[in-house]
Chain A
Amino acid sequence: MSQFHEAFFEESFEGLEIMESELLELDVGEGDVEIINTIFRAAHSIKGGAGTFGFMNVSEFTHVMETLLDEMRDGSREVTQFAVDSLLLSVDVLRTMLEAARDKTDVDEEMVAMRYAVLDGILKNEEGSVSATEVAAEPEVVSSDQPASDGMSRWKIEFAPHADLLMTGNDPVRMFRALSEMGELAVSVDLDKLQPLAELTPEDLYLAWEMTLTGKVTEADISEVFEWVEDECDLTITSLTSETVSATPAPAPELLASIAEDTASNIEPASTAAPVSAVAGNAPANTKTKATKKPVEAASIRVGIDKVDELINLVGELVITQSMLDQAGEDLEANAEASSNYDSEASKANAEILLRLSKGLAQLERNTRELQESVMRIRMLPISFVFSRMPRLVHDLSSKLTKKIELVVSGEETELDKTVMEKIGDPMVHLVRNALDHGIETPDVRLAAGKGETGTLTLNAFHQGGNIVIEIKDDGAGINKAKVLAKAVEKGVVSPGDDLSDDEINNLIFAPGFSTAEVVSDVSGRGVGMDVVKTSILSLGGSVSVKSEEGKGSTFTIRLPLTLAILDGQLVTVGNESYVIPLITIIESLQVDRKYINQVAGKAEVYKLREHYIPIIRAREVFGLPTEKRDLHESLMVVVEVDGTPAGIIVDGLEGQQQVVIKSLETNYRKVETMSGATILGDGTVALIWDVNGMVNVHKRKLSNNKIRA
């Protein structure tokens, strides 16, 4: 059974998300039947699965939720705010229960029992009266029927099926067989109602039976055999033993056919019989086809992420092979041009072949690119996976903070890589919490400021030039620049005399250890500041910034690469090797002019780039290569940005820009501080991808070591 657990958990967590989002949609009062139905169905699936896969506590807990939803659905219970909130909290409890079941850890029984008691209280119309301390007893467990005694018993069974019993696919033979497996069975058939052959309808039943069953059997056991046909037959079960009797079966009565098979062979229904409309006419009126409100989801299949990654890897290899061939083709073409004056006949033929080859190569390139894009898209998921967590968060926080907040979401269908998605969730939650806690004001403050009492939080996502941009915008108080600046000076992040632009001040909130909240609030401040948000976004190769206007609100903008598997890179050479610098980190590239170089404090070199001084980092020094020339005049410098501060890296040569497939260094070799990965270039050589952050760190360490030695 355990091989289905993973699928079950995945389904259940999806189900919980559906329940949560639909519960948030649900209006108090009448309640939209379709919404309740959707929630009900999700709960129902979880309950069924949990029971089947052996998670009885989950199944029992879901059962109460389901019962409550069922009553709401058929209109016998009003949809109250209390009930909706209780169901939302129950969804949380259910989630922890499922997580515990999945991770094989213990669940907080007390919390479960308390939630159970509250739901149970609602069902018993004690809305709100159940206090948290009134912990309910264990959910009742219905005991199953047990055989009344260990001894043998004898039963008389009179079974007269209605004529239409066969119409539901039931067959008396099966019941006889089931009974005969339980003990000694004697059957006699009653042919009284049997019609003459000419008047007989082959699909109807005319027979009745009287049976005697002897064995270790209870009445419940016998009833169970006939459970499905209770309403389609006349059935009497009488005990022939007032008390437990001897184990010897009574001799078979007269007129008995010993086993059902004989009887059965005569009346085996013919499935080729002419159609009868009676069955369709039987349809009950209370079943209605549920029209789903939402657009039908695209059909999908579940595939292990390892399979997809392998596919992506293979396509990556294909891209490399393709660019190798492309290179070879170009070289060939160049050679052909050079030698075309020699032998005109042969070169004509070769030119012909070359043309076909280059056409083929061009097509291969197009196909490869399309294949790569399609494969990359497999890992792409709409950002709604992250956005869908927010309505609940906003709902809970706004009531906790006693603020009125409207959440507006757009661009939910914008897609990004699954890995990026998984990692952006927490930083986004942090930013949303922050906007709610520090950004949007309480209704009275808003009214006093001449705004509407309801604040608006807007989440937006869109694609922009190979990146995905996520905006978190509030119409709250904005960032108090004076306060931020004062704090920054106090913390030593900036010096009192520094001349900073408004944007620079606003972005100080991302500095390490910076927090302006005087009191660490329950909502956003747990000692973790904006710097953590920034670090996690940076580790994804992205960036975050804020724009804010006092009194009008703030907008946080997150920029992320669409995928972690490929990267736009700038090829550079240092010594005999080619390297790749991630394009996203590069501000500009320039040729060094001697007059802007300055030596400061011993060995450190800085470069005056327009108004700012930036540190010069010699790549050769970082890699421990011999320095060719001390004088940097006319050298090439790539200006990169690390943590918002620019630095100039001196390289030997600048080559083209290209998209490269990232191969992990850590899995294939080990972690290297200055490198974030490796790739294979068109000519088959391996190029390392720089971790610009690491380069700067190594440079700083070298400098301080030099100082110590000096």
Chain B
Amino acid sequence: MARILVVDDSASMRQMVAFTLKGGGHDIVEAADGVEGLACAKNGSFNAVITDVNMPNMDGITLTKELRALPNYRFVPILTLTTEASTEKKMAGKAAGATGWLVKPFNPDQLLATVKKVLG
């Protein structure tokens, strides 16, 4: 049971992630882009953050950087959702401070397993 922030501009993707994680017993807060996500993160505390990369207003890479600059989020696991199979793109997330990534498409079990992995 953890409190997780889910950031994605696609409502269907966000709902799917939130639904799956809620099914796994987690408490979910949803945000539609980086700006909203950052505001949520500042106003609350989360055990993990899951963010899409390509988003309007503020993308997932910038969000990750912003979060890592906040004292409360230095060690919080941040997962990026990406469709990029190329190492270069994944590494952009890593370089910004993301814990890891989840490659779309993924199924609910993979998502739960990955979240379980980072929450320990």
Q: How far is the CB of B58 from chain A (nearest CB, A)?
A: 6
> Which listed segment binds B: A277-285, A462-470, A489-497?
A277-285
> Which listed segment binds B: A113-121, A162-170, A333-341, A385-393?
A162-170
Provide the residues of chain A in CB contact with B68, threshold 8 Å. 167, 279-280
A302 at the A/B interface (Cβ < 8 Å)? yes
Contact among B74, B83, B107 with A279 in the assembled complex (CB-CB below 8 Å)? B74
Given contacts A282-B97, A286-B92, contact A7 B12 (CB under 8 A): yes
Given contacts A168-B94, A269-B75, A289-B62, contact A173 B120 (CB under 8 A): yes
Q: Which single residue of chain A is at the shortest CB-CB distance from B104? A: A48
Contact among A53, A59, A166, A231 with B94 in the assembled complex (CB-CB below 8 Å)? A231
Q: How far is the CB of A13 from chain B (nearest CB, A)?
A: 12
Provide the residues of chain B in CB contact with A51, threshold 8 Å. 83, 104-105
Contact assessment for A287 and B12 in the assembled complex, using a CB-CB cutoff below 8 Å: no
Contact assessment for A4 and B19 in the assembled complex, using a CB-CB cutoff below 8 Å: yes
Given contacts A178-B117, A227-B100, contact A48 B10 (CB under 8 A): yes
Which B78-111 residues sit within 8 Å CB-CB of chain A?
78, 81, 83, 91-92, 94-101, 104-108
A8 at the A/B interface (Cβ < 8 Å)? yes
Provide the residues of chain A in CB contact with B43, threshold 8 Å. none
Given contacts A4-B15, A52-B16, A280-B69, contact A45 B54 (CB under 8 A): yes
Provide the residues of chain B in CB contact with A269, threshold 8 Å. 75
Interface size on B, residues (CB 8 A): 47
Contact among A50, A53, A171, A231 with B91 in the assembled complex (CB-CB below 8 Å)? A231
B56 at the A/B interface (Cβ < 8 Å)? yes
Contact assessment for A48 and B13 in the assembled complex, using a CB-CB cutoff below 8 Å: yes
Contact assessment for B81 and A228 in the assembled complex, using a CB-CB cutoff below 8 Å: no
Give 1 or 0 for each of A270-314: 1 = CB within 8 Å of chain B CB.
Answer: 010101100110111011011010001000001000000000000
Provide the residues of chain A in CB contact with B58, threshold 8 Å. 289
A601 at the A/B interface (Cβ < 8 Å)? no
Provide the residues of chain B in CB contact with A227, threshold 8 Å. 100
Provide the residues of chain A in CB contact with B81, threshold 8 Å. 48
Contact among B11, B94, B95, B96 with A7 in the assembled complex (CB-CB below 8 Å)? B11
Provide the residues of chain B in CB contact with A231, threshold 8 Å. 91, 94
B44 at the A/B interface (Cβ < 8 Å)? no
Contact assessment for A47 and B83 in the assembled complex, using a CB-CB cutoff below 8 Å: yes
Provide the residues of chain B in CB contact with A280, threshold 8 Å. 65, 68-69
Which A1-58 residues sit within 8 Å CB-CB of chain B?
1, 3-5, 7-8, 11, 40-41, 44-45, 47-54
A177 at the A/B interface (Cβ < 8 Å)? yes
CA–CA, A50 to B12, complex, Å? Answer: 10
CA–CA, A297 to B100, complex, Å? Answer: 31
Contact assessment for A302 and B11 in the assembled complex, using a CB-CB cutoff below 8 Å: yes
Provide the residues of chain B in CB contact with A702, threshold 8 Å. none
Contact assessment for A279 and B69 in the assembled complex, using a CB-CB cutoff below 8 Å: yes
B24 at the A/B interface (Cβ < 8 Å)? no
Contact assessment for A228 and B99 in the assembled complex, using a CB-CB cutoff below 8 Å: yes
Q: How far is the CB of B106 from chain A (nearest CB, A)?
A: 7
Provide the residues of chain B in CB contact with A552, threshold 8 Å. none
Provide the residues of chain A in CB contact with B15, threshold 8 Å. 4, 7
A348 at the A/B interface (Cβ < 8 Å)? no
Contact among A167, A171, A284 with B92 in the assembled complex (CB-CB below 8 Å)? A284
B7 at the A/B interface (Cβ < 8 Å)? no
B1 at the A/B interface (Cβ < 8 Å)? no
CA–CA, A289 to B35, complex, Å? Answer: 11
Q: How far is the CB of A443 from chain B (nearest CB, A)?
A: 40
Q: Which of A48, A59, A177, A276 has the most CB of B within 10 A?
A: A48
A400 at the A/B interface (Cβ < 8 Å)? no
A423 at the A/B interface (Cβ < 8 Å)? no
Provide the residues of chain A in CB contact with B74, threshold 8 Å. 167, 271, 273, 275-276, 279
Given contacts A11-B11, A44-B83, A52-B105, contact A279 B97 (CB under 8 A): yes
Contact assessment for A4 and B12 in the assembled complex, using a CB-CB cutoff below 8 Å: yes
Q: Which single residue of chain A is at the shortest CB-CB distance from B11? A: A7
Given contacts A41-B56, A269-B75, contact A169 B105 (CB under 8 A): no
Provide the residues of chain A in CB contact with B96, threshold 8 Å. 282-284, 287
B29 at the A/B interface (Cβ < 8 Å)? no
Provide the residues of chain B in CB contact with A173, threshold 8 Å. 120
CA–CA, A271 to B55, complex, Å? Answer: 29
Contact assessment for A283 and B95 in the assembled complex, using a CB-CB cutoff below 8 Å: yes
Given contacts A174-B117, A174-B120, A292-B56, contact A11 B12 (CB under 8 A): yes
Question: What are 30 A-B pairs at a CB distance below 8 A?
Answer: A4-B12, A4-B15, A7-B11, A7-B12, A8-B10, A8-B12, A11-B10, A40-B54, A44-B54, A45-B13, A48-B104, A49-B10, A51-B83, A52-B105, A167-B68, A169-B78, A169-B97, A169-B118, A174-B117, A231-B94, A271-B72, A271-B76, A275-B71, A284-B92, A286-B92, A287-B92, A287-B96, A290-B57, A290-B59, A296-B57
Interface of B toward A, CB cutoff 8 Å: 9-13, 15-16, 19, 52, 54-59, 61-62, 65, 68-69, 71-72, 74-78, 81, 83, 91-92, 94-101, 104-108, 117-118, 120
Interface of A toward B, CB cutoff 8 Å: 1, 3-5, 7-8, 11, 40-41, 44-45, 47-54, 59, 166-171, 173-174, 177-178, 227-228, 231, 269, 271, 273, 275-276, 279-280, 282-284, 286-287, 289-290, 292, 296, 302
8 tightest A-B CB contacts, nearest first: A51-B105, A228-B100, A169-B99, A8-B12, A7-B12, A169-B77, A48-B104, A52-B105
